[in-house]
Amino acid sequence: YKRDVRKIAEEAGLPNHAKKDSTGICFIGERPFREFLSKYLPKQPGEIRRLDDDRVVGRHEGLMYYTLGQREGLGIGGVKGAPEVPWFVCAKDMAQNILYVVQGHEHPALMKDHLAAEQLTWISGRPPHTHWVYAAKTRYRQADAACEVESVDANRCEIAFAAPQWAVTPGQSVVVYESLVCLGGGVIV
């Protein structure tokens, strides 16, 4: 665990034992993610729409700047006739360049009870057993979520969760554990 490593580093007198955790992307450093991307990718503005009724509620600068579950930086204030509840990104329509949002952290559109993953890597070289109870993580610092590997082959696995998971995001990783042992994982599709 990270806290144990930090304690060992402190006892060894290493100056970085109290360094703040990084939540950014290691190769771009501490600069803002949007700023980094804007230097290399052209803006692709489009509409922000409510998923529930397809009403336009704002504009975005490019889908690449947003991730499922994102709340900050949407630029959506109070919308006439809408409750004063935070907005969250729930979907992206890449073909139409539309960012879809919903209100409320627990909106059903943000919850998924299953996922598929590809680009699989299994530590032992063998996939996990199907219909066995494991734990998985789909987000950094997420608590383990009970799951079952429903199917798995060399290219793809299907995972069902015991309880719906928040903002399962294509392109991110799913990591499967058996107790404290990391079995491997893949990229969510």
Contacts of 145 (CB under 8 A, 6+ apart): 135, 136, 137, 138, 161, 162, 163, 165
DSSP 8-state symbol, 19: P
Q: pLDDT tens digits, the chain, 189 residues: what are they?
A: 567 777 777 888 777 777 766 555 554 455 577 777 778 888 899 999 999 999 999 999 999 989 999 999 898 877 777 778 899 999 999 999 999 999 999 999 999 999 999 999 999 999 999 999 999 999 888 899 999 999 999 999 999 999 999 999 999 999 999 999 999 999 999
The tokens for 58 are: 């704002």
CA distance 144 to 182: 11
CA distance 134 to 152: 14
Q: What is the predicted pLDDT for the residue at 20?
A: 66
* Predicted model pTM: 0.75
Q: What is the predicted pLDDT for the residue at 78?
A: 74
The tokens for 169 are: 């995001």
Q: What domains, with CATH codes, occur in the chain?
A: 46-105 (2.30.30.280), 110-188 (2.40.30.10)
Residue pair 109/60 in contact (Cβ under 8 Å)? The answer is no
The tokens for 46 are: 């489009």
